[in-house]
Structure 1
Amino acid sequence: MPTLAIALVTLALLAFMVWRLPRAPAPLIAVALGVAAVALLDLPARGVEIVGRVPTGLPAVMLPDLSMVATLWPSALGIALMSFTETIAAGRAFAHEREPPPQPNRELLATGLANAGGALLGAMVAGGGTSQTAVNQRAGARSQLAALVTAGAALGTMLLLAPVIGLMPNATLAAVVIVYSIGLIDPAEFRAIRKIRRMEFVWALVAMAGVVGLGTLQGILVAIIVSLLALAYQAADPPLYVLARKRGTNVFRPLSPEHAGDEVFAGLLILRPEGRVFFANARRLGQRMRQHVTEDMPRVVLLDLSGVIDLEYTALKMLIEAERALGEQGVSLWLAGLNPEVLAMVRRAALADALGAHRMFATLEQALVRFQSPETSSPAASSS
């Protein structure tokens, strides 16, 4: 009960000062009152836990023990990954909208230098943190000067105030973190995510549950794993659209009931895959293409590859096999909209020789003009 009372009083005091006295150093006042209560009321004897002994004096230089590298490197690598992840997450969460976004490479360099220097002094792992940043922001921190002041205060504590800080109740420290981190919980943001994209809403819920149930670093790791699995699932099943042309224009867009008046062309099936086509999705993409060919029975299958950013060898081999199989069925395969990298890869393969220049086009419009020309208007011509 005494611990609960300390926590509730501190929460109420901080909330009041945030509401009525926003410019007051509320965390310092709360900590000072907590330390005073411990000293005057002998709260540890009543079951209130305090921070305890804080080492005094300057740290001694500690040279690294290289014999421990083999034992520690797996854990050190995991700690480094999680520390950097939380650092960049905190930087993005607290960046002001008019400020340039934090650069991950510079954050990684700064974190690495801080840890390299701190390691020689026996410091704990350094990294950005959401709770510390929240307290700093609410206290008025706006620049690197706040970090210098914090470093000076930490030095003063090590030399002079360590015994006093040791008397701070843990409940007081927890109340400070809760009050100044509560703004990180934004239900409106969750609603906005859910409205726009349900998959990312699931990621957000998983990240929240992971942080609440496992802790900040472990929760972020869970969110990263779930995100990577979701991205892998999306990459394994890329979009494939059947295209039609908007009447009176040269705009090609996915066929849908909303655009029922768009033009389709008898004997021509226009398909547009998007994303990176590689070994994990090439077979699935090929199955869906064959399904469309079976349903439409076209004379010409025109692949718009403008949305394909990369074509791996496995996918290119699939295209070569598809061109051969379609030719045996009397269906001609055409390509259009290849970006320079994909075009260079196609030209290095046997596919370019099989297609020839007359079945490879810079744009869909050029391919359509060719399809509608007299020399390709007949089935015999189109399968040649």
Structure 2
Amino acid sequence: MFTKNTADDGQAVFLDWLHDYQRDWLKPDIVAGVTAAAVVIPKALAYATVAGLPIQVGLYTAFLPMLIYAVLGTSRPLSVTTSATLAILSATALEEVARGGGETQLLAACATLTMLVGGILVLAGLLRLGFVANFISDPVLTGFKAGVAVIIVLDQLPKLLGIHFTKGTFFHNVLALVQGIPHASIATVALGVGTIILLVVIEHLWPRAPAPLIAVACGIAAESLFGLSAHGVEAVGHVPTGLPSFTTPDLSLVEQLWPPAVGIALMSFTESIASGRAFAESSEPTPQPNRELLATGLANIGGALLGSMPAGGGTSQTAVNRLVGARTQVAEFVTAGITLGTMLFLAPLIGLMPHTTLAAVVIVYSITLIKPAEFRAILAIRLTEFTWALIALVGVVLLGTLKGILLTIVVSLLALAHQDANPPVYELRRKPGTDVFRPVSDEHPEDETFPGLLIVRTEGRVFFVNAERIGQKIRALGVGKRPSVIVIDFSGVFDLEYTALKMLTEAEQKIREDGIDLWLAGLNPGVLEIVRRSPLGATLGNERMFFNLNYAVESYLSMPRPDRVD
């Protein structure tokens, strides 16, 4: 029924899903596209305001990038526009280069940023760097998104209250917000809080209903019927009707914008591939990382020429797309078509939308980025990863989003380095009556030990960073045991680096002088060949290197020993 998954070589035929398209998929695709549009369009408008851009930029972002991805992408349900994370990252980047400039300068800066994001994604795809997304661990990403949610909510609360103040650091903004509460507009607060309640009720009672569209429609209706602007409720104002005009990137801003563009590109790809994988059905091809880089990159480049902000796959709209029955990318064509209709005919209505309504939409959906259950799940398993998640959260809140994303990457790399530098080392015993060796545990006191024999196992890559640490752990396991033979199980070691091998050779010589023999067992072919080519291989010979632990133990038991009586 579906096209089989192919190698991720970036050479699969575009629109390959079209060859297998079935007529009975058309209705669910249309329904899904219309429903997703009801979620995508209001949120895209709201996220444009989060980025500090004119509201129509949200429509532009929900149009061409989605069409381009539908043609080039490998995920059937993925809905590509923008997200809360990308919006706040874009806001920080654009604020640095367009501060004090007019709307024309801001739009040119936005086009430049989006073009750079697209170019970076395309380059990464051509270089086959799809694996890079895996460098951000789930706990770090959990913390990063929670921090982004805090920043977004704090940014939107003044609009919800109808107050204004100069933005600054996190603590400055919190203090200014508290001081501004007495000056809040009652009508603005009432409409904003009412919108939040409406969204929450709809999401809980009718989860498949287009809650953002209903909330936005109610806000526009309230403004039209009750003249809320006369009571201090600020509206969006004029929104241009018609197609977006061609926007030329400002090349003079490339030097300033490329560093944040790298971070935005990374988050765009990370969110896109995570959403695509999460909602792929078992009968569908798995999203191909390098093709996804190319597809989202070209979607951003095309969108930049029409003035869109950085785009990527969004979890919420992709979930809606899938849950209401989307089978293929036809649903995205439908969503883009409705967005086009909105640009051509509904722009005047959008201009009546109160800012507090948009702020309410942003707050409700941004809060979902904070997932206490995920923090609890991480803490229940390992305190270390929970600490990384908190560092990412605090880093984003206190340092800002761009520095925060850099911190999350550094934390992820440090986490990876920590794991490589501190591999596990176990003492093993044999399960009675079997050839199964397992770590020493109070749960299995009956496991067999062998006097004078210490069996240990390490795992992963053994190299210059962790070799000394592994040696320390092995020595600690031998304290008080006075073994005559130490067997190291290498079955879990996939690589042995030169420096580590040299240290192992020196360790073998030292313990041999102390009357202890070193044996190796379970070496894979590559590691075995490395050892054989070294002085250690000549020292050990075939007599002290074994196919597995069971052979090593049997050889040990067959050795004549002075304390054994035949």
TM class by smaller structure: 0.7 to 0.9
Cα 1:75–1:44 shift into 2, 3 Å? same
Q: Residue 263 of structure 2: SS of its match in structure 1? A: helix
Structure 2 match to 1:349? 534
Query: Who is 1:142 aligned against?
Result: 326
Contact kept, 8 Å, 1:244 with 1:254, in 2: the verdict is: yes
Paired residues in the alignment total: 377
Asked whether the equivalents of residues 13 and 30 of structure 1 are also in contact (C-alpha less than 8 Å), the reply is yes
Q: Distance in 2 between matches of 1:69 and 1:37?
A: 43
1:170 paired with 2:360, answer: no
Worse-superposed segment, 303-312 or 6-15: 6-15
Superposed CA offset, 1:296-329 (max 9, x none): 2211111101111221222111111111112222
Given the alignment of the two structures, is residue 264 of structure 1 paired with residue 441 of structure 2, yes or no? Answer: no
User: Displacement of 1:209 after TM fit?
Assistant: 5.5
Q: Secondary structure at the match of 1:74?
A: helix
Q: Is the 8 A contact 1:333 1:359 kept in 2?
A: yes
Determine which of 322, 328, 331 is the counterpart of 2:516: 331
Q: Does 1:118 align with 2:300?
A: no
1:382 matched to which residue of 2?
Answer: none
User: 1:8 is matched with which residue: 170, 187, 193?
Assistant: 193
The answer (yes or no) to whether the contact 2:392–2:404 under 8 Å persists in 1 is yes
- 1:86 touches 1:217 (CA, 8 Å); kept in 2? no
Paired with 2:516 and 2:234, the residues of 1 have a C-alpha distance of 79
In 2, are the aligned partners of 1:131 and 1:181 still within 8 Å (CA)?
A: no
> Could you tell me how far apart the structure 1 residues matched to 2:278 and 2:399 are?
20
Indicate yes or no: 2:528 matched with 1:377.
no
Deviates further, 349-358 or 282-291? 282-291
Alignment of structure 1 residues 45-60 onto 2, 5 Å:
45-60=230-245
User: RMSD of the alignment, in Å?
Assistant: 3.3
Equivalent residue in structure 2 for 1:232, among 417, 424, 434: 417
Query: Structure 1, residues 10-61: CA drift from partner, whole Å, max 9, x if none?
Result: 2233344445555544332321221222234333443333334434433344
Equivalent of residue 221 in structure 2, options 17, 36, 41: 36
Greater relative CO (CA pairs within 8 A, separation 6+): 2
- TM-aligned CA distance change 1:193 to 1:67, over 3 Å: closer
Instruction: Specify whether residues 15 and 72 from structure 1 end up closer, same or farther in structure 2 by C-alpha distance, changes over 3 A only.
Output: closer
Which segment drifts farther, 191-200 or 210-219? Answer: 210-219
1:281/1:29 Cα in 2 relative to 1: closer, same or farther (>3 Å)? same
For residues 271 and 20 of structure 1, do their structure 2 counterparts lie closer, same or farther at Cα, with a shift above 3 Å needed?
Answer: closer
Aligned pairs for 1:295-374 within 5 A: 295-374=480-559
Moved more, 156-165 or 361-370: 156-165
CA distance in 2, matches of 1:212, 1:141: 38
Query: Residue type matched to 1:347 in 2?
Result: R
Equivalents in 2 of 1:351, 1:205: separation in Å?
Answer: 45
Partner deviation per Cα, 1:98-137 (whole Å, 9 max, x = no partner): 8776443343232112112223333321212345556x45
Identity of aligned residues (%): 63
Distance 1:133 1:367, change over 3 A: same
Provide the rounded CA distance (Å) in 1 between the counterparts of 2:395 and 2:277.
19
Contact 2:260–2:402 (CA under 8 A) maintained in structure 1: no
- TM-superposed deviation, 1:212: 6.8
Q: Which residue matches 1:249?
A: 434
Q: Secondary structure at the match of 1:261?
A: coil
Specify whether residues 373 and 289 from structure 1 end up closer, same or farther in structure 2 by C-alpha distance, changes over 3 A only.
same
Q: Does 1:280 align with 2:465?
A: yes
Distance 2:367 2:318 in 1: 12
Query: Which one of 318, 338, 341 corresponds to residue 153 of structure 1?
Result: 338
Cα distance in 2 for residues equivalent to 1:203 and 1:325: 39
Task: Check 1:243–1:129 CA distance in 2 against 1; reply closer, same or farther (3 A cut).
Answer: same
With over 3 angstroms needed to count, the CA separation of the structure-2 counterparts of 1:11 and 1:75, relative to structure 1, is closer
**More deviation in 365-374 or 154-163?**
154-163
* CA distances 1:339-375 after superposition (whole Å, capped 9, x unpaired): 122112212222211211111111011111111223x
* Cα shift at 1:85: 2.3
Separation in 2, partners of 1:217, 1:67: 21
8 Å Cα contact 1:86-1:220 kept in structure 2: no
CA contact (8 A) 2:454 2:483 kept: yes
TM-score, normalised to structure 1's length?
0.84
- SS of 1:295's partner is coil
Alignment of 1:57-96 (within 5 A): 57-62=242-247, 69-92=254-277
Given that 1:130 and 1:181 are in contact with CA atoms closer than 8 Å, whether structure 2 keeps it comes out as no
Show CA shifts across 1:241-276 (max 9, x none). 111111221111112222222111112111111122
Amino acid in structure 2 at the alignment position of 1:121: L
Conserved? CA contact 2:458–2:493, under 8 Å:
yes
Q: Using the alignment, how far apart are the partners of 1:288 and 1:350 within structure 2?
A: 24
Quick check: 117-126 or 199-208, which moved more?
199-208
CA distance in 1, matches of 2:233, 2:226: 11
Give the 3-state SS of the residue equivalent to 2:312 in structure 1: coil
What's the offset of the Cα at 1:290? 2.6
Structure (1 or 2) with the larger CA radius of gyration? 1
Per-residue deviation, 1:220: 5.9
The structural deviation recorded for 1:187 is 4.3
Distance 2:374 2:234 in 1: 36
